[in-house]
Amino acid sequence: MINKKKPKIWYGGDYNPDQWEKPIWDEDVRMFKLAGIDVATLNVFAWAKNQPNEETYDFGWLDEMMDKLHANGIGVCLATSTGAHPAWMARKYPDVTRVDFDGRKRKFGGRHNSCPNSPNYRLFSVRMAEKLAERYKDHPALLIWHVSNEYGGYCYCDNCAAAFRVWLRKRYGTLDEVNRVWNTAFWGHTFYDWEDIVPPSGISEEWRGANGRTETNFQGISLDYRRFQSDSLLECYELENDALKKHTPDIPVTTNLMGAYKELDYHKWARKMDVVSWDNYPAADTPFSYTAMMHDLMRGLKEGQPFMLMEQTPSQQNWQPYNALKRPGVMKLWSYQAVARGADTVMFFQLRRSIGACEKYHGAVIEHVGHEHTRVFRECAGLGAELHALGDRLLDSRFDAKVAILFDWDNWWAIEMSSGPTIELQYVKELHKYYAALYKANIAVDVIGVDADISGYDIVLAPVLYMVKPGIAEKLEAYVSGGGALVTTFFSGIVDENDRVVTGGYPGKLRKLLGIWAEEIDALLPSKRNRIVLNSGAELPRAEYDCGMLCDLIHSEGAEIKAVYGDDFYRGMPALTVNRFGDGEAWYLATSPEQQFLDDWLPRLCASHGIAPLLEGAPDGVETTVRVKDGAEYLFVLNHNEAPVTVTLGNEPVTDLIGGRTLSGSAELPGRDLWILRR
């Protein structure tokens, strides 16, 4: 449990008193208490202040602030300050700065800017973590460690190149094996010496393509470089973690993740983290279902263990093109959306708004005006009081989903650097279509990694499972033959973990399980569509649906054909099949359908497996989840609409934990409001 030392939903966020003169500190604390804030994240970017030169460490400000917060009942999420290195370090030890994608050696500037394989960065960051741990190990305010900040980005320097070669040796043993798995016989790329291998970047194998893609000549090299950079940054995390644990073995350690952040394989990261925490910054037009999927993805990183909402803005952001205010009620609603999906903390960036540099127009609990008489402050204080009243009731409660969606970083990387058949295929966007259909139907879903245990799910969705890593096909076969239902789609089963095609017919190792053979893959121009035409017996509200982007031309090898293509030279070939395999069934959807198809089909598939919506007949724009604890179920009903809705709750009276009202039958839920109903 995250909140052992302070058993309630933690409420607070990033606080940067190091950017302010002292007289304001007492004013801050006064207002934190007014807002019900009980956790502050300190020291995120204070390395320069803590260590003004190589020899000097000065934590005076932090000592004073930790004491002051503690004296006022506020706990601390203590960062290690290593998310941005100090200027003296960059000047004295140039290896700490990165080389970018275009091969340019970076100068001092920005943040999250340190080379993960820089010996000096590692030395100084670990030393800093250790100093902090030694100093604050017995401080009563210390609740949790926050290592660095939003790890990310890649480096292409010579130290990284050397470390990459070591990483490759460890993974593949010999250079012959590297040549084999990367298929370097192509274009005469054979490597004769480890030194021949250089990072794939804008000055070697890669370039920036359309649709935000990074293209590459050699998928094998590029995939391994991503794995290696993700591992390198993770090593930095682990080194700091180990230094902290030496002195504070019982204080949990985390770092703030960023949802579907492409550069880092968070499934691997989460195994090294005590607690998952993440920063949620939807834009004003981000679908609610997308935010929900991100929460579920973050919850899935550690088998459903609750996570921390480490950051969100109280109202406005600064880094999006258009930074709309959160409308009245929205901050509270989105905070509870996180709680509804497994967050045991609600925290902000930032508690007081800075006055200079690029985040001065980023929302804060305390705005530039400096007092508490603002809309944003009032809303924050309102939520603070509610979270206080909720106490520990929801802490450590779990989700109970019967449907899982598989999400895999390697697969994501490989799909979006595949060089054909289409640049339109975007992994997360495609997954979100499946998620959104279930979200609309109020069916609970877990988003989990391909390595996760799937035996407890009735349905597993694996859209575009392009890369099938060792053991995965066998695992899926065992799952289906044991009675599970698997749904996978076009462009699945094509390659192994090195992006080498599995020969002998697509979908490779999934062919037997799916009972089909995909002979060809058509890529449609954006202006072109095909149709999914249902065979009789496949009962959906419509007889046919639109589809496009990619169309696999498949033959049944035993699978039952549920729908066929309506157009083009492959008209009449299967578009949707199901194969009975052991006690279960394996579905193959051969093309990318219009959303309505999934909205119609997936809830029916769920129903046929006895999976019901969490709330029958919920109006549009109403999101529901259930968190379960000690035999009690907490049904969250969130109304994302501006207008009130009428919700049918059934005859059993239920009590709303927030408003305290007892409800039954149909009840009106105001716009942008919610209930947490105990049942």
Residues annotated catalytic, as ranges: 150, 311
3-state DSSP helix/strand/coil % of the chain, to nearest 5:
30, 25, 45
311: contact with ligand GLA by CB under 6 A:
yes
Using CB under 6 A, which residues numbered 241 to 300 contact ligand GLA?
256, 279, 281
Using CB under 6 A, which residues numbered 132 to 161 contact ligand GLA?
149-150
Look at residue 160 and give the partner it binds from ligand GLA, Zn ion, none, a contact being a CB closer than 5 to 8 Å depending on partner kind: Zn ion
Look at residue 279 and give the partner it binds from Zn ion, ligand GLA, none, a contact being a CB closer than 5 to 8 Å depending on partner kind: ligand GLA
Look at residue 155 and give the partner it binds from ligand GLA, Zn ion, none, a contact being a CB closer than 5 to 8 Å depending on partner kind: Zn ion
The beta strand positions in 43-194, using DSSP E, are: 75-79, 142-146
CA-closest candidate to residue 205, choices 186, 182, 222, 190:
222
CA quadruple 333, 336, 337, 338: dihedral positive or negative?
Answer: positive
Classify residue 644 by burial, with Cβ atoms within 10 Å: 0-12, 13-18, 19+.
middle
Look at residue 296 and give the partner it binds from ligand GLA, Zn ion, none, a contact being a CB closer than 5 to 8 Å depending on partner kind: none
Nearest-5° angle of CA 287, CA 288, CA 292? 120
Find the shortest distance in angstroms from Cβ 393 to ligand GLA.
29
Selected range binding Zn ion among 108-116, 201-209, 293-301, 572-580, rule: CB under 5 A: 108-116
Find the shortest distance in angstroms from Cβ 350 to ligand GLA.
7
349: contact with ligand GLA by CB under 6 A:
yes
348: contact with ligand GLA by CB under 6 A:
no
Task: For tokens 């920005």, name the residue.
Answer: 110
Selected range binding ligand GLA among 19-27, 52-60, 311-319, 430-438, rule: CB under 6 A: 311-319
List of residues 6+ apart from 288 with CB closer than 8 A: 337, 439, 621, 623, 640
317: contact with ligand GLA by CB under 6 A:
yes
For ligand GLA, which is the closer residue by CB, 3 or 277? 277
Find the shortest distance in angstroms from Cβ 311 to ligand GLA.
5
Find the shortest distance in angstroms from Cβ 352 to ligand GLA.
13
Q: How many residues are given for the chain?
A: 679
Look at residue 510 and give the partner it binds from ligand GLA, Zn ion, none, a contact being a CB closer than 5 to 8 Å depending on partner kind: none
Q: How many residues line the site for ligand GLA (CB under 6 A)?
A: 11
If phi over 0 gives left and psi between -120 and 50 gives alpha, with beta otherwise, what is residue 617? left
Burial pattern 451-481, b for ≥16 Cβ within 10 A else e, equals ebebeebbbbbbbbbbbbbeebbebbbebbe
CA-closest candidate to residue 310, choices 633, 620, 13:
13
Find the shortest distance in angstroms from Cβ 205 to ligand GLA.
31
Q: What is the DSSP letter of 543?
A: S
Find the shortest distance in angstroms from Cβ 319 to ligand GLA.
6
Nearest-5° angle of CA 546, CA 401, CA 393? 135
115: contact with Zn ion by CB under 5 A:
yes
Look at residue 352 and give the partner it binds from ligand GLA, Zn ion, none, a contact being a CB closer than 5 to 8 Å depending on partner kind: none
Using CB under 5 A, which residues numbered 157 to 176 contact Zn ion?
157, 159-160
Cis check for the bond before 507: say yes or no (omega within 30 of 0): yes
Find the shortest distance in angstroms from Cβ 159 to Zn ion.
5
326: contact with ligand GLA by CB under 6 A:
no
155: contact with Zn ion by CB under 5 A:
yes
CA-closest candidate to residue 78, choices 156, 151, 148, 176:
148
Site for Zn ion, rule CB under 5 A: 115, 117, 155, 157, 159-160
Site for ligand GLA, rule CB under 6 A: 149-150, 256, 279, 281, 311, 317, 319, 349, 359, 362
